[in-house]
């Protein structure tokens, strides 16, 4: 049997075993990555990269991890010559085969979570993790980023607010920050009651801090349910000497 024919036979047996085991999307089963795994399994090459790519492809196509591993178990059963005799068993998968495929699948979800997680879903502000990334970029660009940048902080006393009024109060503050700092600055949430702006240190900074203080007071005063969270405390912080110290400062401010 030639190589091409052997690959076709293995692919056909794998698909049959996978569908019989309950693969729910027959039309979605064939992938280029399936062919790569088949080739790798019949070759002397290490199939590791092909298995990682298969896991990624399954995740990108919307297959769950359980479905992906059951499909992999079908391949393993076929390779062991068990297809049609013993049902595919995920627990029987070799640990490396399982780990590589699951790693590829999980990588996609991690990337998607990172894409979704750049902004706080309630306030629209960037997350603290994103702000740490921006600070890392600044510290790589300059040994003394504190010469050109500062952190502007806004804090509320949410112990005096209840329920959804806490979220509303921080949402109002985020709107104020977007109004005052509208030039591409990084606006982030450090915690449930603290927001931060990474901004250039220039002649207009003091005026902007004052504007945030005044506008925040006006917005919070409109609603009696959020008014107790104010007045907002607004201040600026110098950037520490190192990125590690800056991350420590963000963590402390967010408590």
Query: pLDDT digits over 93-105, tens only?
Result: 898 899 999 988 8
Instruction: Check whether 240 has a pLDDT greater than 60.
Output: yes
CATH architecture of the domain formed by 128-253: 2-Layer Sandwich (3.30)
Which pLDDT band holds residue 115 (cuts at 50, 70, 90)?
low
Over range 189-214, report the average pLDDT.
90
Q: Residue 176: what are its φ and ψ, rounded to 5°?
A: -65, -45
Q: Which two tokens stand for residue 203?
A: 């002649």
If we measure between CA atoms, which residue out of 145, 140, 209 comes closest to residue 180? 209
Percent of the chain whose pLDDT exceeds 90: 29
Question: Hey, which bits of the chain come out as E strands?
Answer: 149-155, 186-191, 194-200, 233-238
Alpha helix locations (H) across 149-242? 164-180, 205-222
| Bridge partners, 188 (sequence order) | 126, 196
Confidence of residue 86 (pLDDT cuts 50, 70, 90): low
- Label residue 84 by pLDDT band (50, 70, 90): low
How far is the C-alpha of 136 from the C-alpha of 200, rounded, in Å?
Answer: 16
Instruction: Give the chain's length.
Output: 255
pLDDT of residue 49: 93
- The yes-or-no verdict on residue 196 having pLDDT over 90 is yes
Query: The whole model's pTM is what?
Result: 0.54
* Residue 133 in this model has a pLDDT that exceeds 70: yes
139-168 average pLDDT score? 78
Mean pLDDT of the chain: 84
SS3 119: strand
User: Does residue 35 or residue 143 have the better pLDDT?
Assistant: 35
In angstroms, the CA 2 to CA 181 distance is 67
The ranges assigned to domains in the chain are 3-116, 128-253
Question: How high is the pLDDT of residue 15?
Answer: 92
What is the C-alpha to C-alpha distance for residues 35 and 29, in angstroms, rounded to an integer? Answer: 11
> pLDDT band at residue 120, thresholds of 50, 70 and 90?
low
- Residue 116 has a pLDDT of 54
138 contacts 146 by C-beta, under 8 angstroms: no
């Amino acid at each position: 049997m030639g190589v091409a024919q052997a690959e076709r036979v293995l692919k056909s047996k794998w698909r049959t075993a996978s569908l019989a085991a309950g693969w729910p999307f027959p039309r979605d089963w064939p992938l280029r990555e399936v062919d790569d795994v088949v080739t790798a399994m019949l070759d002397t090459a290490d199939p590791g990269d092909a298995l990682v790519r298969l896991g990624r492809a399954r995740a990108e196509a919307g297959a769950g991890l359980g479905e992906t591993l059951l499909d992999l178990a079908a391949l393993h059963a076929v390779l062991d010559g068990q297809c049609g005799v013993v049902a595919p068993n995920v627990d029987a998968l070799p640990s490396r085969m399982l780990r590589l495929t699951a790693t590829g699948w999980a990588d996609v979800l991690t990337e998607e979570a990172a894409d979704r997680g750049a902004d706080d879903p309630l306030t629209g502000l960037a997350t603290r993790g994103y702000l740490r990334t921006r600070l890392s970029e600044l510290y790589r660009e300059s040994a003394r980023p504190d010469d050109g940048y500062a952190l502007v902080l806004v804090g509320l006393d949410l112990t005096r607010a209840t329920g959804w009024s806490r979220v509303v109060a921080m949402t109002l503050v985020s709107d104020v920050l977007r109004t005052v700092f509208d030039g591409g600055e990084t606006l982030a949430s450090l915690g449930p009651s603290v927001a931060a702006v990474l901004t250039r240190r220039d002649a207009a900074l003091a005026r902007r801090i004052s504007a945030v203080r005044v506008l925040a007071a006006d917005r919070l005063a409109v609603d009696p349910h959020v008014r107790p969270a104010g007045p907002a405390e607004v201040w600026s912080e110098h950037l520490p000497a190192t990125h590690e110290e800056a991350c420590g400062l963000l963590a402390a401010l967010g408590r």
